[in-house]
Amino acid sequence: MSESVFADRLTRLIALSPDEHALLTGVEERERRVRRNGVLFSENDRVAELFVLRRGMMMSYVLLDDGSRQIQRFLFPGDLIATTSLVYAKAPDTVMAVHDSSLGAIDRQALADVVLRCPRIGLGLLALEQVERVAMSDRLAAVGRTSAKARVAALLLELRNRLRATAPAGIDSFAPGITQEEMGDATGLTAVHVNRMIRQLEEERLIGREGGRFTIRDEASLVRIANYIDRYAGLDMGWLTVRG
């Protein structure tokens, strides 16, 4: 793995030339570390840079004025954070570390310069954005139209798939390390009800648990009740041929 998680991720979508790769690696500058429960930035903060998550796990959320929280997404290594700073002066969400994390900070002007010099990187960013958007659509459909059990099942599947990317191979269990309260805030449920759904999934032998560690026991059934689709698989940018 090179120094730039970001360049690596982009390369997986669009083959970058060595020059492009170098340019992109060069722009990812300041390292930033955030400890568990530490806040990278808060809603309405003025943020003029983007971040790439290198190690750890974070989450993006908004607080409503009755105090409730909606977690919009969990963030994993390679994910881009605060891309909205390209357009909004103030952050629309808060980003907090779920586990100790380290990030690379990219000045938005510097990134814009790279894109201007190397437009294929702009296409790559656009591509990453699409994946995020579709994933968010799925979450909207889950929260709007599926049962509590289905939402919890979908969250577990998503967490497993994203964590598996960085986990040591051969282990089929995963430990997201988040509280049931956080699972609730991600799925639009209360912590109490999340707990009931988890235990129900456990009793039906769809999942297993020990400590904070989960095992998918019956993936087919789980996928079925969750309406789950893995959007990080099945990408296709092969059509993109570079013309003179």
Partner DNA sequence: CGAGCCGTTGAAAGATGTCAAACGGCGTGG
Partner DNA sequence: CCACGCCGTTTGACATCTTTCAACGGCTCG
User: By the criterion CB under 7 A, which residues form the site for DNA?
Assistant: 147-149, 179-181, 184, 188-193, 195-196, 198-199, 209, 212
Compare residues 28 and 185 and give the one whose CB is closer to its own copies: 185
Query: Between 18-27 and 108-117, two packed helices, what is the crossing angle to 10 degrees?
Result: 170
- Cα-based torsion angle of the residue sequence 108, 110, 116, 118 in order, rounded to the nearest 10 degrees: -110
Long-range contacts of 6-10 (CB under 8 A, 24+ apart): 6/52, 6/78, 6/80, 6/104, 6/106, 8/78, 9/78, 9/128, 10/121, 10/124, 10/125, 10/128
Q: Which of residues 76-105 bind its own copies (CB under 8 A)?
A: 83-84, 86-89, 92-93
Name the binder of 62 from its own copies, DNA, none, CB < 5-8 A by kind: its own copies
Query: Between 180-187 and 191-203, two packed helices, what is the crossing angle to 10 degrees?
Result: 100
Among 16-24, 32-40, 127-135, 168-176, which window interacts with its own copies (CB under 8 A)?
Answer: 127-135
Name the binder of 133 from its own copies, DNA, none, CB < 5-8 A by kind: its own copies
Q: Are 80 and 128 in contact (CB under 8 A)?
A: yes
Which secondary-structure segment (H or E) carries 136?
A: helix 119-145
Task: Examine residue 42 and tell whether it contacts its own copies (CB under 8 A).
Answer: no
* Given 25, 100, 122, 221, the residue binding its own copies (CB under 8 A): 122
Name the binder of 140 from DNA, its own copies, none, CB < 5-8 A by kind: its own copies
Q: Are 207 and 199 in contact (CB under 8 A)?
A: no
Name the binder of 169 from its own copies, DNA, none, CB < 5-8 A by kind: none
Contact positions vs its own copies (CB under 8 A): 13, 48, 62, 64-65, 68-70, 72, 83-84, 86-89, 92-93, 108-109, 112-113, 115-120, 122-123, 125-127, 129-134, 136-137, 139-141, 143-146, 187-188, 227, 231, 234-237, 239-243
